[in-house]
Amino acid sequence: MPNFLATRLTTWVSQTPIHLALVVLSTLWTLPSLGLLISSIRPPEEVLTTGWWTVFQHPFDFTQYSLENYRTVLSAEGLGQALLNSLTIAIPATVIPIAIAAFAAYALAWMEFPGRQWLFLAIVALLVVPLQMTFIPLLRAYGHLGLTGTFAGLWLAHTGYGLPLGIYLLRNYIGSLPRDLIEAAAVDGATPWQIFTRLIVPLSMPAIASFAVFQFLWVWNDLLVALVYLGGTPTVAPLTITLTNLVGSRGQDWHLLTAGAFITMTLPLLVFLALQRYFVRGLLAGSIKG
Amino acid sequence: MAQVRFESVSKRYGDVLALHDLTLAIADGEFLVFVGPSGCGKTTTLRLLAGLEPVTTGHLYIGDRRVNDLSAKDRDIAMVFQSYALYPHMSVYENMAFSLELQGLGKGEIQQRVQRAAQQMELEDLLQRKPKELSGGQRQRVAVCRAIVRNPAVFLMDEPLSNLDAQLRGQARVEISRLHRELGSTLIYVTHDQVEAMTMGTRIAVLNQGRLQQVDTPQALYRAPSNKFVAGFIGSPAMNFLAGVLVETDDLLWFKAEAVSFPLDRTTCPGYQRYLGQPVICGIRPEDIHDAHYVPTGLVTSPLQGKISALERMGNEVIVYLTLGDRQTYAARVDRRSALALGETGLFAVNTRAIHLFDPDTEIAIAAQGAP
Amino acid sequence: MTHIFGRGLVAALAIGLGCGGVFALFYGANGLVERFAPGNSKNRLLPWVYLTPALLLLAVYLVLPTLVTIYISCFDARSQAFVGLTNYLTVFTDKTMGEAFRNNLLWLVGVTGGSVSLGLLIAVLADRVRYEPVPKTLIFLPMAISFVGASVIWKFIYAFRPAGTAQIGLLNAVVTSLGFEPVGWLVERSINNLALIAIMIWLQTGFCMVLLSAAVKGIPQEIIEAARLDGASEGQIFWRITLPLIRSTILVVSTTTILLVLKVFDIVYVMTAGNQGTEVLASRMFKEMFSFRHYGRGSAIAVLLLLAVIPIMVLNIREFRRPTPLR
C-alpha cells in the first residue's frame, strides 16, 4: 500500500509541469472575461479609479458591488432596445435559412431530377465567396428597393450568406439517412411533403441543431453585415452595433462598456454552454463558412 | 387481395439490364418466392412492383389496375425491408399507426387495428418501446406487423429474415407461413436462401442474371429442374455435374464420362435421341449417391468407386466428398451408419433413375426440351 | 413600462412574421403543386418547389453580386467610367494599402501560428490529466464571444493611464508594478498590431484545441503503446507518431484560421478603426465603401480577397471531406 501511494506521488510530481502549464493557460484565458464581469458590477467611480483586481482585498464585502451599470446601459444607453433588435434579427435569420436549406437539402438528397449532383457542387462552390464580394451591388439594390435599415433586408442577407453552409451540412446528413426508411414511408403512403415533415426533419435534428447553433451565434455576433445593411439607423441596430457606438462615444466609461459587453455575451454563452456538443459540430462544419 | 401480373417487364440501369423480359402471373393468395444469387434481379423485381423504381419497358398489373405510373403510395401494397426500416424516432405503436394515419383513419379505428395486429404477432407488450430498445427478433416481428396492420392487397418481403440468427430464422419461417395462411393475401417474398424458398413458397421463381429461369412448386423445381442453373442452385450440397457422352449399345442407353459410366433408363430421359453420340452433362444429386452397403430397397442403382477426400458426419447423415479420377470432387449424402473412412476407396451406388441430363451448350434439361 | 412591453410585442410580431412566413411559403407552394399539378408532372415539379427559394436567394445574394463586383472593380468611384485595371494598380501602390497587406500577412502568421500551436499544446497536455474538461471549457469559452465583445474586453486590458496615476488596465498595472513606464498598447506602432493579434489568438485557440483534441484522441491507443514498446520517449512519440497522424487536422485547422484572418474586420474596426498603422484589407474596403465612397477600389479589394480565398478554400474542402463531422 505505501508502495502504491509512492507511485501515485511520483506520477503526480512528474506531471507537475503539465498541471502548472494548464493552470497558467487556463488563468490567462479566463482573466480577461473575469475582469470584465467584475468591473461591470462595480460602482462607476471605483471602476475608473482603481483596478478591478482590488475587489479581491475584500471579496465578500458585497457593498462594493452594484447592478447600477446594467440599469444605465439598458435604458439610457439604449442597449435594451438593441437587445430586442438582436433577438428580432437573430431568430428569424436562424429559422429562415434552416427551413430553406432543409427543403433544398432534401430535394438534393432524395428527389430525382436532372442535374442534381451538379447543382449541389455549384452550391458548395459558393462557400468560397467572401461576403465582401457582395456588399456594394447589394447595398445599391437595397437602396433602390428601400430595404436598407429593415429587419427583412437583414434576414434575407443572413439567409443568403448562410445557405451554402446550411445546404452543404444538411444535404450530407440527410443523404446519409438509410434509403430503406424513406422508401418504407413512401410505401406506407407518405407524400414527399409528409416524408419531409414526419421523417426527414425529426431524424435530422442533430444536424439541424448544429447548423442552428452555428448560424445563431454567427448572426448574433455579426457586426459587419449589420453595419453594411442597417447603416446608422439606431432604432434597428443590434447589440454589436450599439456596443461599437458606445466604444466610440463613451470610450473611457469602462463601467458602461463592461456592462454592455457582458450583456452582448450572455445569450451566446448560455447557448454555448447548453448546446456545446452541437456547437462543436457546427464549428467543425462551419469552419468553411465564407 | 389481388392477382399480380408482370408482362414483358424489363428494367435497365444505364447499360446494365437488371431484369430481362419478365412475364409472370401470380395468383391471388399465392405465396411466391423469388430466389437467386445476389445480383440476379430479384430485389429489383420487388422494387419495381413496389413502385420504388420505374419500369423501363413492359406492363405491371396489381389486380386489374396497370400500376406502371402509380406511385408507391397508391399501389395498395405493404413491404417488409431487409433492414426492417423501422422509423427510429417513433414507438412501435407509432410505427404501425403511421400508414393508417396517412390514410386519414380515425384515432379509434387506428387503435383497434394496431391492437389486433399486435395481438396476432404477440407484440402487445412492446407497443410503447422505441425500435432501438428491441431485440433483432422483435424488430423483425414489428416490421412484419407494420405491414399486416395495413391489410394491403399484396405483401412484399425483401429478405426479411437475413438479419436473424439460425434459430430465430426457423421460428420466423413458421410464423410467416402461418400468417400467410391466416391472412390469405398475396405474398411475394425475395430471398437468396433456398431453405426459405423451399419451405415457405407455394411457388418459387428462380432468377439468374436478370432472367427468369423457372417457376414451379418447390417439389417440381427439385424433381425436374428445367436447366443446369436451377438444378445446381436448388439443393444442398449442390447437384454434381459430370461431362460425358450419350451412347446406345445393346439395347441400353449409356452415359460415358472419363472416369465412370452409367446405364440409363430410357423412360426417365425423354428426348435423348438427338443427343446420341453427342456430349451431354449429367447431373446427380448427392442424395442419389448411396453407400453401397446401405442402399434403400427397390432402387435401381449402378455401382461407382470413388476415393474419399473428406467426410462430414452430421449425425443424421454423412456427407462424403469423393474423387473419381478426374480432377473434380463430388458430394454424396449417405446413410448415417456408413462406415466409410477418409482416404480409402469406397463403393457407392448411384440411383440411375434420378439422373438429370443437360445440353452442354444451352444448359437446358434434355427432358424439358421434349416437352411442348 | 407599457412602451417596453409594446416594443417587445413588436419584436415578437416581427419574429413570428419572419419565421412563419417561410413555412407558409413552402406549405402553400407544396399544396398548390399537390392539388393542381396533373399526375406525372407532380414528381417533376416538387423538387423545384423545394429548391427554388434557396436557388433564388443564392443567386441574388451571392452569384449576381459577385459578378457585378468583378465588373465594377474596373470602373471609377461612382461606377460611371471604365478605368480598366487602374483600381488594382492603385490598390497595389497605395501606401496605406501596402500597410494593410503587410498587416494582413502579420495577422496570418501570428494568429495561425499562435492559435494552432497553443491549441495543440493544450490539447496534448489536457489529454494527460483527469480534470481535462475544465481547462478545455475555459479556453473554448471565448469562441462564443463576439469580436465586438472581445474587443471591449481587451480594450479594458490594454487601458492606458499616464504614469503616476493608478492603472485600471491589467497589462499596464503589471508593467508599472514591475517598475516600467505604462505603455500605450494600441497607439505604439511597434506593438499595436501584436496587441490586436493577441485578441484573435485568444478567440481562436479554443477552436483549434477542440479539433486537434478530437484528432489526438482519434489515434488508436495501440499505436502509441506499440511505439512505447519500441522504446520511443514521450517526446519522440509526439513528434514521430502523433504529429504525422493528425497532419490532416492541422491542415484543416490552419486553413480555417487563415480564411478567418484574411477577412478579419470587427476587431480592427472597434479597437483602432484602422488608424496608427493597423489597417487590414477588410477594414480598408469598408473605408473605401463608406468613407471615400469609392466603389471601384472597394470592389477591387473584394476581388483580391476572393482570389486569396479560393486556393485555400479548395485545399480546405478537399481535406475537410475526409473526416465526417456529424457522425
> CATH topology for A73-286?
MetI-like fold (1.10.3720)
Cell numbers describing residue B235: 439443393
Q: Give the distance from residue C190's alpha carbon to the nearest chain A alpha carbon, in angstroms.
A: 23
Neighbour count for residue B264 (Cβ, 10 Å): 21
Test C135 with A107 for CB contact under 8 angstroms.
Answer: no
Q: Any CB–CB contact under 8 A between C43 and chain B?
A: yes
- For residue B356, list its beta bridge partners: B283
How far is it, in rounded angstroms, from Cα C58 to Cα C63?
A: 6
Test B82 with A186 for CB contact under 8 angstroms.
Answer: no
Which are the contacts of B358, defined by CB distance < 8 A and separation ≥ 6? B227, B228, B231, B241, B280, B281, B282, B283, B364, B365, B366
The answer to whether residue B372 scores a pLDDT higher than 50 is: no
Most C CBs within 10 A among A8, A23, A28, A29, hence the mutation to make, goes to A29
Same domain, C47 and C102: no
How far is it, in rounded angstroms, from Cα C302 to Cα C288?
A: 11
Q: Any CB–CB contact under 8 A between A188 and chain B?
A: yes
More confident residue, A126 or C38: A126
Instruction: State the average pLDDT over residues A206-222.
Output: 90
- Structural domain contains residue C82: no
Residue recorded with cell 428462380? B206
Same domain, C299 and C202: yes
DSSP string, B343-369: TSEEEEEEEGGG-EEE-TTT-BBHHHH
Cell numbers describing residue A283: 464549428
Provide ipTM, 2 decimals: 0.87
* Nearest C-alpha neighbor of C168 from the set A43, A66, A53, A62: A53
Instruction: State the average pLDDT over residues C160-167.
Output: 83
Which are the contacts of A122, defined by CB distance < 8 A and separation ≥ 6? none
- For residue B204, list its beta bridge partners: B33, B216
Which are the contacts of C113, defined by CB distance < 8 A and separation ≥ 6? none
Q: Any CB–CB contact under 8 A between A191 and chain B?
A: yes
Which C-chain residues 241-300 have CB contacts (< 8 A) with chain A?
252-253, 256, 259, 262-263, 265-266, 269-270, 282, 285-286, 289, 295, 298-299
How far is it, in rounded angstroms, from Cα C304 to Cα A184?
A: 50
pLDDT, residue B100, reads 94
Instruction: State the average pLDDT over residues B334-344.
Output: 90
- Structural domain contains residue C80: no
More confident residue, C183 or A107: A107
3-state secondary structure of C110: helix
Test B89 with A184 for CB contact under 8 angstroms.
Answer: no
Q: Give the distance from residue C27's alpha carbon to the nearest chain B alpha carbon, in angstroms.
A: 17
The answer to whether residue C326 scores a pLDDT higher than 80 is: no
Q: Any CB–CB contact under 8 A between B74 and chain C?
A: no
Same domain, C170 and C276: yes
Neighbour count for residue C131 (Cβ, 10 Å): 10
Across the A:B interface, residue pairs with CB atoms under 8 Å apart total 56
Share of chain B above pLDDT 70, in %: 98
How far is it, in rounded angstroms, from Cα B316 to Cα B335?
A: 8
- Structural domain contains residue C302: yes
Rounded to the nearest 5 degrees, what angle is found at the Cα of C258, between the Cα atoms of C254 and C262? Answer: 175
Same domain, C284 and C224: yes
pLDDT, residue A2, reads 59
How far is it, in rounded angstroms, from Cα C229 to Cα B98?
A: 57
Find the closest chain C residue to A242 by CA distance.
C148
Same domain, C46 and C186: no
Which are the contacts of B299, defined by CB distance < 8 A and separation ≥ 6? B290, B349, B351, B353
How far is it, in rounded angstroms, from Cα A247 to Cα C270?
A: 7
pLDDT, residue C71, reads 92
Name the pLDDT band for A285 (thresholds 50, 70, 90): low
Which of C72, C105, C123 marks a domain boundary? C72
3-state secondary structure of C263: coil
- A252 CB burial (10 A radius; 0-12, 13-18, 19+): exposed
Name the pLDDT band for B370 (thresholds 50, 70, 90): very low
The answer to whether residue B369 scores a pLDDT higher than 70 is: no
Q: Give the distance from residue A244's alpha carbon to the nearest chain C alpha carbon, in angstroms.
A: 6
Test C139 with A25 for CB contact under 8 angstroms.
Answer: yes
Instruction: State the average pLDDT over residues B94-110.
Output: 93
Contacts 24+ apart (CB under 8 A), A45-54: A47/A254, A47/A255, A47/A258, A47/C168, A48/A252, A48/A253, A48/A254, A48/A255, A48/C168, A49/C166, A49/C168, A50/C166, A50/C168, A51/C166, A51/C167, A51/C168, A51/C169, A51/C170, A51/C173, A52/C168, A52/C170, A53/C170, A53/C173
Lateral strand order in the sheet of B279-284: B261-264, B252-257, B240-249, B279-284, B356-358
Residue recorded with cell 402509380? B70
More confident residue, B192 or A48: B192
The answer to whether residue A53 scores a pLDDT higher than 50 is: yes
Of the candidates A99, A123, A172, the beta carbon closest to that of C26 is on A99
How far is it, in rounded angstroms, from Cα A109 to Cα A85?
A: 36
* Nearest C-alpha neighbor of A247 from the set C279, C292, C196, C150: C150
Cell numbers describing residue B236: 444442398
Q: Any CB–CB contact under 8 A between B54 and chain C?
A: no
The answer to whether residue C316 scores a pLDDT higher than 90 is: no
* Nearest C-alpha neighbor of C173 from the set A243, A66, A31: A31
More confident residue, A251 or B245: B245
Find the closest chain C residue to B69 by CA distance.
C40
- For residue A137, list its beta bridge partners: none
- The residue range of the domain holding C275 is 87-320
Q: Any CB–CB contact under 8 A between A177 and chain B?
A: no
Mean pLDDT (chain A) is 87
How far is it, in rounded angstroms, from Cα C11 to Cα A84?
A: 7
Same domain, C161 and C55: no
Test A33 with C128 for CB contact under 8 angstroms.
Answer: no
Same domain, C126 and C61: no
The answer to whether residue B337 scores a pLDDT higher than 50 is: yes
In chain A, what is the straight-line distance between the N-terminal and C-terminal CA atoms, in Å? 59
Instruction: State the average pLDDT over residues A202-216.
Output: 90
Name the pLDDT band for A289 (thresholds 50, 70, 90): very low
Domain count, chain C: 2
The answer to whether residue A83 scores a pLDDT higher than 80 is: yes
Model pLDDT for residues B272-321, shown as the tens digit of each residue = 888 888 899 999 999 999 999 999 888 888 898 999 999 999 989 999 99
Name the pLDDT band for C323 (thresholds 50, 70, 90): very low
Same domain, C20 and C115: no
β strands within B27-64, DSSP E: 31-35, 57-62
Neighbour count for residue A221 (Cβ, 10 Å): 24
pLDDT, residue C95, reads 86
* Nearest C-alpha neighbor of C55 from the set A103, A148, A139: A103
Instruction: State the average pLDDT over residues C281-291.
Output: 89
Q: Any CB–CB contact under 8 A between C325 and chain A?
A: yes
Model pLDDT for residues C288-299, shown as the tens digit of each residue = 888 888 889 999
Sequence length of chain B is 372
Which of C72, C95, C128 marks a domain boundary? C72
More confident residue, A151 or A250: A151
The answer to whether residue B101 scores a pLDDT higher than 90 is: yes
Residue type, C63: V
Which chain B residues contact residue A181 at CB under 8 A?
A: 85, 87-88
Mean pLDDT (chain B) is 91
Ordered domains of chain B (ranges, CATH):
4-228 (3.40.50.300), 233-370 (2.40.50.140)
Which chain C residues contact residue B69 at CB under 8 A?
A: 39-40
pLDDT, residue B78, reads 93
* Nearest C-alpha neighbor of B189 from the set B178, B175, B203: B203
- For residue B6, list its beta bridge partners: B24, B60
Model pLDDT for residues C84-110, shown as the tens digit of each residue = 888 899 888 888 888 999 999 999 999
The answer to whether residue C1 scores a pLDDT higher than 60 is: no
Same domain, C144 and C175: yes
pLDDT, residue C217, reads 85
- For residue B241, list its beta bridge partners: B283
How far is it, in rounded angstroms, from Cα C180 to Cα C191?
A: 16
- Domain ranges in chain A are 2-66, 73-286
Which chain B residues contact residue C43 at CB under 8 A?
A: 71
Q: Give the distance from residue A170's alpha carbon to the nearest chain C alpha carbon, in angstroms.
A: 10
Same domain, C129 and C95: yes
Rounded to the nearest 5 degrees, what angle is found at the Cα of B235, between the Cα atoms of B231 and B238? Answer: 75
Q: Any CB–CB contact under 8 A between C231 and chain B?
A: no
Model pLDDT for residues B105-138, shown as the tens digit of each residue = 999 999 999 999 999 888 999 999 999 999 999 9
The answer to whether residue A5 scores a pLDDT higher than 90 is: no
Q: Any CB–CB contact under 8 A between C90 and chain A?
A: no
What are the phi and psi torsion angles at B242 (to 5°)? -125, 135
Alpha helix (H) ranges present in chain B?
Answer: 42-50, 92-102, 107-120, 136-148, 166-183, 194-200, 218-223, 228-233, 366-370
Which are the contacts of C305, defined by CB distance < 8 A and separation ≥ 6? A130, A132, A133, C262, C263, C281, C282, C285
How far is it, in rounded angstroms, from Cα B333 to Cα C42?
A: 59
How far is it, in rounded angstroms, from Cα C141 to Cα A280?
A: 11
Q: What is the CATH number of the domain that holds C299?
A: 1.10.3720.10
How far is it, in rounded angstroms, from Cα B27 to Cα B63?
A: 10
* Nearest C-alpha neighbor of A127 from the set C19, C113, C315, C286: C315
The answer to whether residue B371 scores a pLDDT higher than 70 is: no
b/e code C250-287 from CB counts within 10 Å (16+ = b): bebbbbbbbbbbbbbbbbbbbbbbbeebbbbbbbbbbb
Which chain C residues contact residue A137 at CB under 8 A?
A: 64-65, 68-69, 72
Same domain, C63 and C158: no
The answer to whether residue C21 scores a pLDDT higher than 60 is: yes
* Nearest C-alpha neighbor of A69 from the set A248, A243, A263, A241: A263
Model pLDDT for residues A220-238, shown as the tens digit of each residue = 999 999 999 998 788 899 9
Test A281 with C326 for CB contact under 8 angstroms.
Answer: yes
pLDDT, residue B42, reads 94
Q: Any CB–CB contact under 8 A between A186 and chain B?
A: yes
Are A42 and A257 spatial neighbours (Cβ–Cβ below 8 Å)?
no
Residue type, C142: P
Model pLDDT for residues C29-80, shown as the tens digit of each residue = 999 988 887 777 888 889 999 999 999 999 999 999 999 999 999 988 888 8
Which of C72, C105, C122 marks a domain boundary? C72
* Nearest C-alpha neighbor of C263 from the set A221, A122, A215, A289: A289
pLDDT, residue A112, reads 87
- Structural domain contains residue C81: no
Which chain A residues contact residue C9 at CB under 8 A?
A: none
Q: Any CB–CB contact under 8 A between C233 and chain A?
A: no
Name the pLDDT band for A284 (thresholds 50, 70, 90): low
Most C CBs within 10 A among A30, A129, A227, A239, hence the mutation to make, goes to A129
Q: Is C30 left (phi over 0), alpha (psi -120 to 50) or beta?
A: alpha
What are the phi and psi torsion angles at B246 (to 5°)? -105, 125
How far is it, in rounded angstroms, from Cα B7 to Cα B32?
A: 17
pLDDT, residue B24, reads 95
Task: Provide the pairing of β-strand B252-257 with B261-264.
Answer: antiparallel
pLDDT, residue B352, reads 86
Instruction: State the average pLDDT over residues A32-40.
Output: 89
Test C144 with A247 for CB contact under 8 angstroms.
Answer: no
Cell numbers describing residue B282: 449429367
Same domain, C41 and C109: no
Q: What is the DSSP letter of B54?
A: -
Chain B contact partners (≥3 CB pairs within 8 A): A, C
